[in-house]
A and B are shown apart, each in its own frame.
Chain A
């Protein structure tokens, strides 16, 4: 793949990740438990991870977190999304390295760890451990959304050919 093509592709993936984040922020929360969300942006990150590589996916994820915070967020929301993104990305890489899991397994691990990262950051920022109470619900939602995002990503990774 030529350098120019790669730059264009990466920009498109980063743009998609941002757009998906934005779309998701417009959807009203379904439950009263904070932190439950679909994780649509992970589709773009998963796609980049499998199609373009680890470093590229890391760049897409980092660009999304920084730009979304600058455009729509605050310092606090930046810290939450950073904690979730860093932990989930690290675990997704590990799970993928093990070579036992398909895209769905990687995405489930990512979804669950995103929620764990955010809860951990909330515990640090609020200096309280009472929010651990939310963890079982977040594990549950992370697993379910992880499956949905994983199946979607797997389809896209399989169907979209990049030369």
Chain B
């Protein structure tokens, strides 16, 4: 590889990185600007909608026969317990904006915040 060629390659590398960073930063920014608070969470198990809970009421609900425990507290939802080893869903934290999701892949459970007019993904 000649010196000139590698400089040219470096330039394309930087271009690629810049484009990717720009696209991802832009979409993150758009997501933050256009997000709005939801009023319910939808619980999906195995891809089908199982039930919805209002974010206005505090409560604790076992999901999927107790593999995960959903807690709603002060307008925010989070999973307090999961029986899987990775605990990704528990570590996801609290969600309250439309489109935000907590996913437990091993148990195939997804909890999504939805607004007044059905599922609305903010991107």
Q: Shortest distance in angstroms between A30's beta carbon and chain B's nearest beta carbon?
A: 10
Whether the pair B28, A126 counts as a contact (CB closer than 8 A) is no
Tell me the dominant secondary structure on chain A's binding face.
helix
Interface string of B19-51 (1 = CB under 8 A from A): 011011101100100000000000010111000
Determine, out of B9-17, B58-66, B69-77, the stretch whose residues face the partner at the interface.
B9-17
Inter-chain residue pair count (beta carbon < 8 A): 101
**What is the distance, in angstroms, from B97's C-beta to the closest C-beta of chain A?**
10
In the bound complex, how far is the Cα of B31 from the Cα of A100, in angstroms? 33
- Name the CB-closest residue of B to A158: B1
Instruction: Fill in one digit per residue for B76-91: 1 if any A CB lies within 8 Å of its CB, else 0.
Output: 0000000000001001
Q: Are B17 and A147 in contact (CB under 8 A)?
A: yes
**Chain A residues closer than 8 Å to B31, beta-carbon distance:** 133, 136
Nearest A residue to B46 via CB reads A127
Q: Which residues of the partner chain B approach A137 to less than 8 Å between Cβ atoms? A: 24, 28
| A81 located at the interface, meaning its Cβ lies under 8 Å from any Cβ of chain B in the complex | no
The 9 closest A-B pairs by CB, nearest first: A127-B47, A139-B24, A136-B27, A105-B13, A140-B24, A102-B9, A143-B20, A100-B12, A130-B101
Give B residues with C-beta under 8 Å from A. 6, 8-10, 12-13, 16-17, 20-21, 23-25, 27-28, 31, 44, 46-48, 88, 91-93, 99-101, 103, 105-106, 108, 110, 112, 119, 121-123
